[in-house]
Amino acid sequence: MDYLEEISPEPTPLPRRRTHSPAFKSHLVALCKNSAVSVAAIARAHNINDNMLHRWIKEANVNSASPNPVAVPESSFIAVPMPSPPARSAETASSIHLEFQGKQFNLNLQWPAHDAMGCATFIRELLK
């Protein structure tokens, strides 16, 4: 009896890789882009590996990026008229105006804008 024949039986043929049509791939990529379902859930539902679907999405993004992007038509922009802001008086432009409301008091404070650090120090001391 030959021992080599007993140890190494005939090699089993490897399973063939599955191939998927470009239409199937693009359908799944579109599902992933237009759906709130995770990529992994879509892959499992179609009996494919999650990483394979992620690769198809990446390849679709690379292939869709073209050197001449499609121009957006000018008619897609809608100009909305905005009212101009009200003119500030010299007093409000050069001062800090604060209103404090507490249970027992209301305080309206007007502080010169050039002394913002002094205002911050005053508020810190007030809130101690």
Closest CA to 30 of 69, 64, 71: 64
Range of the domain at 100: 94-127
Give residue 51's pLDDT band: very low, low, confident or very high (50, 70, 90). Answer: very high
Mean pLDDT value of segment 64-87: 68
Residue 111 lies in a domain: yes
Residue 73 lies in a domain: no
Tell me how long the chain is: 128
Confidence category of residue 53, pLDDT binned at 50, 70, 90: very high
- Say yes or no to pLDDT of 22 above 80: yes
Number of domains the chain is built from: 2
Q: Report if residue 74 sits inside a domain.
A: no
Q: Indicate whether 103 pLDDT > 90.
A: no
Residue 53 CA to residue 59 CA, distance in Å, equals 10
Are 39 and 32 in contact, with CB atoms under 8 Å apart?
Answer: yes
pLDDT of residue 49: 92
Distance CA 113, CA 103 (A): 28
Rounded to the nearest 10 degrees, what angle do helices 50-64 and 22-34 cross at? 90
